[in-house]
Amino acid sequence: MAAQYVSVNGGLVLADDAKIGVSDLAMHRGYGIFDYFKLVDGKPVFIDEHFDRFFNSAREMHLDTGLNRTQLRSTVEELITMNNMPASGVKLLLTGGYSEDGYKMGVPNLLVMQYPLNFPKENALESGLKLASYNHVRQLPHIKTIDYLAAVRLHPFLGENGLDDILYHKNGIISECPRANFFIVTAREIITPTSNILKGITRSKVLGLNIDGYRVVERDFGLDEMFSAKEAFITSTTQYALPVTMVDGKTIGDGKIGTVTRQVRHQLYKLI
Amino acid sequence: MAAQYVSVNGGLVLADDAKIGVSDLAMHRGYGIFDYFKLVDGKPVFIDEHFDRFFNSAREMHLDTGLNRTQLRSTVEELITMNNMPASGVKLLLTGGYSEDGYKMGVPNLLVMQYPLNFPKENALESGLKLASYNHVRQLPHIKTIDYLAAVRLHPFLGENGLDDILYHKNGIISECPRANFFIVTAREIITPTSNILKGITRSKVLGLNIDGYRVVERDFGLDEMFSAKEAFITSTTQYALPVTMVDGKTIGDGKIGTVTRQVRHQLYKLI
């Protein structure tokens, strides 16, 4: 069920009435940043890390958040209380603001929106995700901007071909999925790329896990190394860890969820 | 003076009341396309070319324009009549539409907006523009999407350094300015890049000009060739042709508007 309320610049508004003037720079120049965290049993998960990243993204893009950290926290709490969706996602969205000439930044608009969580289908957990590799680097990948032009454009292609997501690489060196980080598992290592990525909060949690017999390592690797991996998986706020069993039509490992992926997923659940 | 009316999905709305719901995909994922043409003495200039490009951009990004060409034309004409701004710019903006999950495309929102024209300051015509080169390629540069993340982010930097605009290059090979095409003038040629650019309507008009003693050529060139050019200029719908006299603090030619730039500008005026 959709959320009843949205917060617009610190004030609660009925979702159906929540609107933004047509001169906003997000609409004219795709200029904005966001962050997204989940609520489990009504409680925000890793909210401090998400707030850190949100304020950092704003600073990097020269956008004033309008609210300070304490005020934003109150705004989020008020919204959560009013919407009463104990299992949900909360999105903080900060736009380039109303621009007189459609190019220069204005005073940013700050939206806080709540969404029902879409849990992965049970079969995605067992049979895994099918990805298509794509040579692309998001501009400013280390900042959580609203730039998803390439990914959204490819969405119809994924649907037509029974694929679940895209895996970005740059001339064969893997980086990330549009909305998730990527990991492979080799004989003794769990490896995740370090270049041209957004450093996900869930990714950082995986880096801190203890998986018996494995070191968790940050380093770049290519498509070839991925195709010879034992397992592959993605991580994200909504998906925790999900197995990847096929890329470009080729099977990864034995094509089923691996024991390491299962352990990572289990440990993330325990952590949250 | 700002326009009084805006067209939202084919209907006229007072500009102050023109709003879009907060679930639009332009706001969430920077997903949308646009085009922009000018009115001179109340008459649209090169509107057929701009419409061609607009419908092509929509098709490339899998966005349904909602209105066909005839309907869009009527919408534009109605808006122009109501706003009564004989010297102005008209922007067609097509967004990714309302998205339930903030990621998948919805039914696009179509906005038509009118703006006062900002004519270049008289001194820009004579003393020319100062640019800063920047290693960047817009994603999907051949499509007129709303992706201007890099350019808008650099805008404060330009202001602080007394610069007018950015000149994109890829590892030294020049492409374009964020909102304009770029030309250099050598002993016998007027040259404009052909790779990683949006093919501007004004650029296409320059390609068709007859400038005595010069061939107009489309080919890529590097920063070095630019620094040894006799003249450089940009072209755009609003600016016609404007001289570029400095890039990265180095003077181009003799640092003043050149005779070829002056002729190009003059011929564009006559054409329009």
Closest CA to B118 of A100, A105, A26: A100
How far apart are the C-alpha atoms of B132 and B223, rounded to whole Å? 11
Tell me the chain B residues in contact with residue A11 when contact means C-beta distances shorter than 8 Å: none
CA angle (B99, B101, B107) in 5-degree steps:
15
Same domain, residue pair B207 and B84: no
> Do A79 and A155 fall into the same domain?
no
Give the pLDDT of residue B8.
97
Parent domain of B258? 122-271
Same domain, B108 and B177: no
Residues A91 and A147 in one domain: no
Q: Do A150 and B140 touch (CB under 8 A)?
A: yes
Q: Which residues pair with B268 in a beta bridge?
A: none
Q: Is the dihedral of CA B27, B28, B29, B31 positive or negative?
A: negative
**Mean pLDDT throughout A74-89?**
96
Which one of A116, A139, A174 terminates a domain? A116
State the smallest CA–CA distance between residue A19 and chain B in angstroms.
4
For residues A17 and A38, membership in a common domain is answered with: yes
Say whether B30 and A145 touch across the interface (CB within 8 A). yes
Letter for the amino acid at A246? M
pLDDT digits (tens, 9 = 90+) for A232-268: 999 999 999 999 999 999 999 999 999 999 999 999 9
Residues of chain A in contact with residue B105, where contact means CB-CB under 8 angstroms, are: 152, 155-156
Looking at beta carbons, which residues of chain A come within 8 Å of B153?
31, 61-62, 140
- Read off the tokens for B263: 């002729």
Count of structural domains, chain A: 2
Q: Which residue of B has its CA nearest to A7?
A: B22
CB contact under 8 A, B18 and A21: yes
- Cβ partners under 8 Å of residue A124, min gap 6: A164, A242
Its pTM stands at 0.96
The ipTM is: 0.95
Q: How far is A187 from chain B (nearest CA, A)?
A: 36
Predicted local distance difference test score (pLDDT) of residue B126: 79
Cβ contacts of B22 on chain A, cutoff 8 Å: 6, 8, 18-20, 93, 111, 113
- Counting one residue from chain A and one from chain B, the pairs whose CB atoms sit within 8 A come to 147
Alpha-carbon gap: B239 to the closest alpha carbon of chain A (Å): 15
Written as six digits, the tokens of B131 are: 């640019």
Q: Which residues of chain A are within 8 Å of residue B20 when distances are taken between CB atoms?
A: 19-22, 27
pLDDT at residue A117, rounded to an integer:
87
Residues A225 and A184 in one domain: yes
Hey, what amino acid is at A118?
A: N
A13 plus A55 within the same structural domain: yes
Q: What is the pLDDT along chain B (272 residues), one digit of tens a residue?
A: 789 999 999 999 999 999 999 999 999 999 999 999 999 999 999 999 999 999 999 999 999 999 999 999 999 999 999 999 999 999 999 999 999 899 999 999 999 999 998 766 666 787 899 999 999 999 999 999 999 999 999 999 999 999 999 999 999 999 999 999 999 999 999 999 999 999 999 999 999 999 999 999 999 999 999 999 999 999 999 999 999 999 999 999 999 999 999 999 999 999 98
Question: Chain A: nearest CA to B118, how far in angstroms?
Answer: 9
Phi, psi of B72 (to 5 degrees): -65, -40
In sequence order, which residues have a C-beta less than 8 Å from that of residue B144 and are 6 or more positions away? B33, B34, B35, B53, B54, B57, B198
| Record: contact B103-A148, CB cut-off 8 A | yes
Asked if A32 and B34 come within 8 Å (Cβ–Cβ), the reply is no
One domain for residues A133 and A243: yes
**Which residues is B92 bridged to in the sheet?**
B35, B112
pLDDT-derived band at A126 (thresholds 50, 70, 90) equals: confident
Q: How far are the Cα atoms of B81, B84, B271 from residue B181, in angstroms, in the given order?
A: 31, 30, 18
Contact flag A27-B19 (C-beta cutoff 8 Å): no
The amino acid sitting at A189 is: E
CATH number, domain at B71? 3.30.470.10
Structure tokens at A204: 């950082």
Question: Using the beta-carbon criterion (under 8 Å), do A149 and B150 form an inter-chain contact?
Answer: no
Q: Which CB contacts under 8 angstroms, 24+ apart, belong to B176-180?
A: B176/B141, B177/B131, B177/B234, B178/B138, B178/B148, B178/B150, B178/B151, B179/A103, B179/B148, B179/B151, B179/B236, B180/B234, B180/B235, B180/B236, B180/B239, B180/B242
Residue A36, C-beta contacts closer than 8 angstroms, at least 6 positions apart? A50, A89, A90, A91, A92, A237
The token duo for A78 is: 């008020």
Residues with Cβ within 8 Å of residue A55, at least 6 apart in sequence? A65, A69
Within this chain, do residues A254 and A126 fall inside the same structural domain, yes or no? yes
Taking CA atoms, B107 is separated from A29, B23, B181, in Å, by: 20, 12, 32
Question: How high is the pLDDT of residue A125?
Answer: 81
Judged by DSSP in three states, B164 sits in: coil
Contacts of A61 in chain B (CB under 8 A): 153
Write out chain B residues lying below 8 Å of A149, CB-based: 29-31, 139-140, 145, 147
Q: What is the mean pLDDT of chain A?
A: 96
**Contacts of residue B155 in chain A, CB cutoff 8 Å?**
103-105
Of A100, A139, A146, the CB nearest to B150: A139
Q: In terms of domains, do B155 and B267 share one?
A: yes
Instruction: List the single best residue of A8, A29, A60 to mutate versus B (max B Cβ within 10 A).
Output: A29
A173 has which bridge partners?
A: A170, A222
With a pLDDT cut of 90, the percent of chain A lying above it is 94
> What residues in A contact B26, CB-CB < 8 Å?
26-27, 30
Answer whether A238's CB lies under 8 Å from A185's CB: no
Which chain B residues touch A136 with a CB distance below 8 Å?
139
- Residue B95, CA distances (Å) to A101, A106, B29, B84, B110 in order: 18, 20, 10, 26, 7
**Phi, psi of B108, rounded to the nearest 5 degrees:** -55, 150
In this structure, the answer to whether residues A243 and A150 fall within a common structural domain is yes
pLDDT in tens, A184-229: 999 999 999 999 999 999 999 999 999 999 999 999 999 999 999 9
Question: For residue B33, what is the nearest residue in chain A, using CA coordinates?
Answer: A28
Are the Cβ atoms of B31 and A28 closer than 8 angstroms?
A: no
Where is the domain boundary, B89, B116, B143?
A: B116
User: B31, A149: Cβ pair inside 8 Å?
Assistant: yes
DSSP one-letter string for B39-90: EETTEESSHHHHHHHHHHHHHHTT---SS-HHHHHHHHHHHHHHH--SSEEE
Note the pLDDT of residue A122: 64
Do residue A103 and residue B150 have CB atoms under 8 angstroms apart?
A: no
Q: How far does the CA of residue A241 sit from the closest CA of chain B (Å)?
A: 20
Nearest Cβ partner for A61 among B24, B148, B153: B153
CB contact under 8 A, B29 and A156: no
Say if residue B103 is in the same domain as residue B127.
Answer: no
Rounded Cα gap, residues B243 and B265, in angstroms: 9
A169-194: pLDDT as tens digits: 999 999 999 999 999 999 999 999 99
The reported pLDDT for the residue numbered A127 is 84
Nearest residue of chain B to residue A26 (CA atoms): B27
Of B6, B24, B140, the CB nearest to A149: B140
A76, A93, A116 — which closes off a domain?
A116
CATH number where B184 lies = 3.20.10.10
Is residue B42 left, alpha or beta, with left meaning phi > 0 and alpha meaning psi from -120 to 50?
A: left
